[in-house]
Amino acid sequence: MAISGARGRYTTMSDTEPAVVFQTPSRIEADVVRALLETHGIHAAVSSRAPQAVFPVTLTGLGEVWLSVHGEDAAEATRLIGEFGEEVSERLTRIRDEFRAVEEALGYHFSDPGLLEHALTHRSKAHEDVSGGVRDNESLEFLGDAVLGLVIADRLFRECPDWDEGQKSKAKAMIVSTVSLARMGDELGLGQHLLLGRGEERTGGRRKRSLIADTLEAIIAAIYLDGGITAAEQFLERCFRPQLDAVRAGGLTPGLMEDHKSAFQEFLQSHDMGLPDYRLIGETGPAHRKVFETEVYAEDRPLARGEGHTKKESEQRAAEQALQKLEGR
């Protein structure tokens, strides 16, 4: 018999054969429904089919995820899903709201939310899943690195025509470095949204720079797969325009892209001094060559000032000076 229900098809061949009672592109949604069934004594097995589409066809993030129960439990499982549909919907809404917060930070809305879920899934989360239904973001990370490199290389080629190959390569390496990506990921708040395994969670994975940088690359790939190269370019333009402008304005100044702000913040936190507070205190120069001056505070005490051709560069300089002062260098 065939039973239809919200989001799924329910088919029972016999009481001894498994029946699919729920299917979704999101493993998180599948986990919510599985938990509901198992609290009522119905064991649900998870299986998935990874997408087999070939580029340039749009790919889904995780493929379809299925929940199956014994055939004799199919009718009861269907009844429970329907009866508790409002509760399930409420929990799923909270999950979608969390993804919506990520989308707002990114400035991009996914047509396929499964891609965003995939991009946020660390291998530690996938390794804890015995069903094999969770896929980590490492393949997306590989693709995102290539998309990022292409877009930044294109910008440098067009905007720095007088630079030789070595200058462009060095500038590109600074802009797409792990330090730069981790800083951008921190600004987007990616750490709080990562899907981590229990072990990685305990060891502070949400604060690891390399992990946040890798996740940002995976998100770049997810945006590219979801919206194409134009969407990826628009996202990267918003994220990396300050770095591109700083490189163009200051040339290849040594240390331009060093992450003094993160190092300074880590120093303050390790000494129970809270978070730094950056305050813009002045702007000078013509519009095409402005100089910004920023003062950094800790515990409401001014520590140092820095100047730069962008606000972020001036903050980096202030952080560098403050860190040297506190370390007695």
Residues 108 and 231 sit within 8 Å (Cβ to Cβ): yes
Residue 217 a catalytic site member:
yes
Q: Which of 197, 218, 194 is nearest to 206 (CA)?
A: 194
Q: Residues 170-179, buried b or exposed e (16+ Cβ, 10 A)?
A: ebbebbbbeb
Q: For the sheet containing 18-24, what is the strand order? A: 18-24, 64-70, 45-49
Burial of 255 (0-12, 13-18, 19+ CB in 10 A): exposed
Q: Which is it for strands 45-49 and 18-24: parallel, antiparallel or unpaired?
A: unpaired
Residues 157 and 168 sit within 8 Å (Cβ to Cβ): yes
Look at the chain and count its residues: 329
Residue 226 a catalytic site member:
no
Q: CA of 117: how far to CAs of 2, 102, 103, 125, 174, in Å? A: 31, 10, 11, 12, 29
Residue 81: both structure tokens together: 């899903």
Out of 200, 217, 233, 313, pick the active-site residue.
Answer: 217
CB hemisphere CA count around 294 (13 angstroms): 25
**At residue 237, what is the residue type?**
E
Residues 154 and 236 sit within 8 Å (Cβ to Cβ): no
Whole-number Å distance between alpha carbons of 242 and 261: 15
Out of 141, 145, 295, 320, pick the active-site residue.
Answer: 145
Residues annotated as catalytic are: 145, 217
